[in-house]
Structure 1
């Protein structure tokens, strides 16, 4: 076996110590360099945008947005001490016939704060100008802008609205028929979010929509412009086929006109037991 003299051992130990000491001076500089780098370019996919001329909860001339946005970048060496801090803000410009206004406002995550998905669902609300004509989402430089098409929520009054989570590759007609007749029987109106189904189910849904049982709301999959699907499938980076965004959309859509809104899956049936009409039960649920 090779024998190492004490001099060589001393040299090796000193060299290792020197390397560690040197890394202690170099590493902060390298970290500082990384921390000063820009975060990912801001990308947002807007699933809902409603403008409320009058709103009891949001105020007059309010805009409500539901979006999926990319999270801020974190580095592998430390999630806490060396995370790039960026305030959760978005900038919106409103324009009417006489003036314009730029507002910077915070956004809130709709779901729990975690890093499992790259495109979490967030909610934004802000008060705009009276008689707003157009709305734009501004980029980080406040120069790049994207028009936000918006709609005014429906004004039809409802006692109970049942929001059905997005269905995809749906083929079970029994669940659909049972749900539609139960909710119709007990005075509920259904808002169904639709991604895909077999043709016969789609035709059946249309028949019931024409009969006034429900409204079908297409629920689009997320595609980011300039991002190759082979590189990143954006819809795989949202939570549960963007179910939280759909439920938030439904609440925003009917919150001014419905007395009660519930969010369920198609195979989750809410059957009233206290009374033959859902409205009395909804009042009971809201108090308990």
Structure 2
């Protein structure tokens, strides 16, 4: 299939290309001495690499300080033992100043060799260009000015890889929308018709799509070292921190969920009021954690007869609990691992009797089924809840289904529904792979034999063509330690049976 660059991403790529072009012109103005440039032979023997995902500028921030810059990166955790800070050159219309960015660990453990980290510094007001300055050299890093447009609640969804579970996607998007949240979705790869449908949902304001980059070290052959084998679940902690940083000054609450996680407010008619209640009752906490309660439900495997109402009415709790997920108050949290933060911030473990995450752990995919249109699913978690109270009201079920019908009848969506997969080939392969490499050992509390979990370890080569790229690299020394810094280029792609589209 011929590559295709989607219009919304094309403008971003052009923007960053222009930014690098301007940076190159500025480097001529700075007049760096050619003798300061690194020798290529030394560069290729560098012991440490740092891959930069994103950078954000805050004109004002409640917890970061005014005129702050945050760089989000991933690297070998040993980097933090030898390099405590990065030096930045930051330029605006009138000034050019140096700033020191303190490195901070995000990932809480060393089970995987490469971890997420941030570097934060106060810089000049309204910067136009940002450079990392190491060993006398300067390299431009594209950055974004953080929006302050109000978005009360954001659902940050973990990066998708070879995603085909469209039933989960549609249920989540409509439930989030019904209760007042905006979804922010990271994508490594997704089946093509699902991606085309997502683009329509993005235009309708349900979701923001963000490509999530595969780590590409330009100076190292992956046959010798592949960092993607050494990051936890597609660098999920970095993605969650990226989402938190993006909405830090615009959202009241930022929740971190997987695609099969549903939060259904029980103590209020929407998310923001439920979360505000918890925050008011616990004014010193920085985040809440909702436990995950496993459920079983049913869904049609064919999109032409699929119904969100049928999925919701079929939900039954399995009396099994998994590690929960967090809802952050972004004015109090600057970065986060998957389930909690590395810093000792005060948290609230929400009792299941109050609410929990409805985890759509098991979905039976059927060709046809009988549905009780009067059934209202009961909220029946493992402990402490009143089983007489419904999980979701009949009114909300009907309103969600009505909204789904409105969207599914759009011609821009309907023409792709018939192409959605019926058998979840990728999902089963990846699930089996995770069990063999990680979950079997994790459940038995056995570290021996456990591998760093992630899809790069899963062989789906018969169905997948990799599509990724990165641009920009920087290499220099500080205090005798050589570091390579690589910059990610935004890219987006979709998988289908033939491979992928860029």
TM-score normalised to the size of structure 1? 0.77
Q: 1:127 aligns with which of 122, 130, 134?
A: 122
Change in CA separation of 1:138 and 1:70 when aligned onto 2, cut-off 3 Å: farther
1:11 equivalent in structure 2:
none
2:146 equivalent in structure 1:
153
Q: Are 2:229 and 1:236 equivalent residues in the alignment?
A: yes
2:95 equivalent in structure 1:
99
Q: 1:89 aligns with which of 85, 108, 112?
A: 85
How far off its partner does 1:61 sit? 1.1
1:117 equivalent in structure 2:
112
Q: Are 2:184 and 1:191 equivalent residues in the alignment?
A: yes
SS of structure 2 residue aligned to 1:240: coil
Contact 2:168 2:260 in 1 (8 A): yes
Change in CA separation of 1:202 and 1:101 when aligned onto 2, cut-off 3 Å: same
Deviation digits for residues 16-51 of structure 1 (CA, Å, limit 9, x no counterpart):
xxxxxxxxxxxxxxxxxxxxxxx9544211112111
Q: Are 2:41 and 1:45 equivalent residues in the alignment?
A: no
Which 5+ residue runs of structure 2 have no aligned equivalent?
Answer: 1-44, 283-347, 349-502
Query: For 1:71 and 1:163, how far apart are their aligned partners in 2?
Result: 25
Query: Which structure's CA Rg is the greater one?
Result: 1
How far off its partner does 1:119 sit? 2.1
Query: For 1:205 and 1:266, how far apart are their aligned partners in 2?
Result: 13
Query: For 2:168 and 2:78, how far apart are their aligned partners in 1?
Result: 40
Q: 2:74 aligns with which of 68, 76, 90?
A: 68
Query: For 2:52 and 2:139, how far apart are their aligned partners in 1?
Result: 11
SS of structure 1 residue aligned to 2:261: coil
SS of structure 1 residue aligned to 2:90: strand
Contact 1:40 1:72 in 2 (8 A): no
SS of structure 1 residue aligned to 2:194: helix
Deviation digits for residues 44-71 of structure 1 (CA, Å, limit 9, x no counterpart):
1111211111222211111011101234
Query: For 1:282 and 1:85, how far apart are their aligned partners in 2?
Result: 38
What does residue range 6-85 of structure 1 map to in structure 2 within 5 Å? Answer: 40-72=46-78
Contact 2:154 2:183 in 1 (8 A): yes
1:248 equivalent in structure 2:
241
How far off its partner does 1:232 sit? 1.4
Contact 1:121 1:244 in 2 (8 A): yes
How far off its partner does 1:210 sit? 1.4
Contact 2:85 2:119 in 1 (8 A): no
2:265 equivalent in structure 1:
272
Contact 1:46 1:66 in 2 (8 A): yes
Q: Are 2:255 and 1:259 equivalent residues in the alignment?
A: no
How far off its partner does 1:133 sit? 1.5
2:170 equivalent in structure 1:
177
SS of structure 2 residue aligned to 1:232: coil
How far off its partner does 1:272 sit? 0.5
1:24 equivalent in structure 2:
none
How far off its partner does 1:138 sit? 2.2
Which of the pair has the greater relative contact order for Cα pairs under 8 Å at 6+ separation? 2
Deviation digits for residues 68-113 of structure 1 (CA, Å, limit 9, x no counterpart):
123438xxxxxxxxxx962422221112233322223321110114
Query: For 1:87 and 1:168, how far apart are their aligned partners in 2?
Result: 32
Contact 1:160 1:278 in 2 (8 A): yes
How far off its partner does 1:243 sit? 0.4
CA RMSD of aligned residues (A): 1.9
Deviation digits for residues 180-226 of structure 1 (CA, Å, limit 9, x no counterpart):
11001101100001110111111121121111101101111110111
Which 5+ residue runs of structure 1 have no aligned equivalent?
Answer: 1-38, 74-83
Paired residues, number = 237
Deviation digits for residues 137-167 of structure 1 (CA, Å, limit 9, x no counterpart):
123x2x2222110011223211111000101
SS of structure 2 residue aligned to 1:107: strand
Query: For 1:72 and 1:249, how far apart are their aligned partners in 2?
Result: 22
